[in-house]
Amino acid sequence: MVTVFRNSLSRQANRVAAVVMLLLLSSACQAKLSSTFYEKTCPNALSTIRKVIGKAIARERRMAASLVRLHFHDCFVQGCDASILLDNSPSVTSEKFVPQNNNSVRGFEVIDQAKSAVEKVCPGVVSCADILAVAARDASEYVDGPSWTVKLGRRDSTTASPSLASRDLPSFTDSLESLISLFRTKGLTARDMVALSGSHTIGRARCLTFRERIYSSGSNIDARFASKRRCRCPATPGDGDSNLASLDLVTPNSFDNNYFKNLLQKKGLLQSDQVLFSGGSTDDIVSEYSRNPCTFKSDFATAMIKMGNIQPLTGSAGIIRKICRRVNN
């Protein structure tokens, strides 16, 4: 009788323990991002990252645009999980070599430096995905762009997906309808899409990406603008493909609203830029941003926060990579 009673208590205790464990795991998997995530575990994380980003942009102003773009290209593939940082390995096929990334996405060494600096302060605590998110904010702020409160607590993936990267990353030839649809699948509105496209107020693009536009006979490009761009972008494919041109000819190193003013004058460098103002549904948004830089910067910050919340790995999901380019051994 006593033995039966003890066995019953033991079974009840096991059931309670199992329920508690399930609740804890559920809570961990459903953890939310928080701006104070590292407040106790790594209080100097953000200031450490900021120093590295500031030095990198001071050396090369273009790096600001590259770091913003790196975060964007990460979040659009598998969510904001730092999958874009992974190199090829026996267990991983990298996303770095799909057409939208190859010889285009850059800044990996800056993220490496930031990760190394943070690891010295608090080893194994801060994810590469969070470093990407913080770096994008710091880069924007460094070139007079908006700042925002970065929500933290992302964890890093153990996989990458070239197939999803090829499918989900926008292309410089995309139509307005394609861009709106692609951003909608990520939970972003057409207004978010136009605001995020405004990051092209800084940075440069390769001849390969705008050759067809500047040599076309279309009516949606200013003739003098096209002529000037042809100086460093020969018509022959393969000739000068990597030659660079500023996405914003007016103030290429400052985060402002000149990008939208350029579109009104048919001076968008990429076809995927100009389609935002080409008689379509986003014309009014472009016009608004061209008149009101404060509205643009506010909307950009809001859209960056929304983008940074695309399917993050949190709680017990994912890992904290020791080195951003590879999965922990």
The tokens describing 142, both together, are: 């460094």
Residue 147 labeled ligand binder: no
Q: Single out the residue of 106, 126, 108 nearest to residue 117, CA to CA.
A: 126
Of 62, 69, 71, 73, the catalytic one is: 73
Residue 144 labeled ligand binder: no
Instruction: Kindly report the length of the chain.
Output: 329
Measured CA to CA, the distance from residue 72 to residue 80 in angstroms comes to: 8
Residue 239 labeled ligand binder: no
CB 229 within 8 A of CB 235: no
Residue 281 labeled ligand binder: no
Residue 256 labeled ligand binder: yes
Strand, helix or coil for residue 317: coil
Residue 201 labeled ligand binder: yes
Q: Single out the residue of 142, 147, 146 nearest to residue 61, CA to CA.
A: 142
Residue 273 labeled ligand binder: no
Residue 77 labeled ligand binder: yes
Residue 299 labeled ligand binder: no
Measured CA to CA, the distance from residue 133 to residue 147 in angstroms comes to: 12
Strand, helix or coil for residue 245: strand
Q: Single out the residue of 247, 289, 324 nearest to residue 70, CA to CA.
A: 324
Residue 81 labeled ligand binder: yes
Residue 83 labeled ligand binder: yes
Residue type, 307: M
Which residues are bridge partners to 313 per DSSP? 155
For CA atoms 74, 77, 78, 79, the dihedral sign is positive
CB 71 within 8 A of CB 205: no
Q: How many CB atoms are located within 10 Å of the residue 231 CB?
A: 10
Q: Is 73 a catalytic residue?
A: yes
DSSP letters spanning 145-195: ----PPPB--BB-S---HHHHHHHS--TT--HHHHHHHHHHTT--HHHHHH
Residue 71 labeled ligand binder: no
Task: List, by residue number, the catalytic residues.
Answer: 73
Please enumerate, by residue number, every residue annotated as part of a binding site for Ca(2+). Answer: 74, 77, 79, 81, 83, 95, 201, 248, 251, 256
Please enumerate, by residue number, every residue annotated as part of a binding site for substrate. Answer: 170
Please enumerate, by residue number, every residue annotated as part of a binding site. Answer: 74, 77, 79, 81, 83, 95, 170, 200-201, 248, 251, 256
Please enumerate, by residue number, every residue annotated as part of a binding site for heme b. Answer: 200
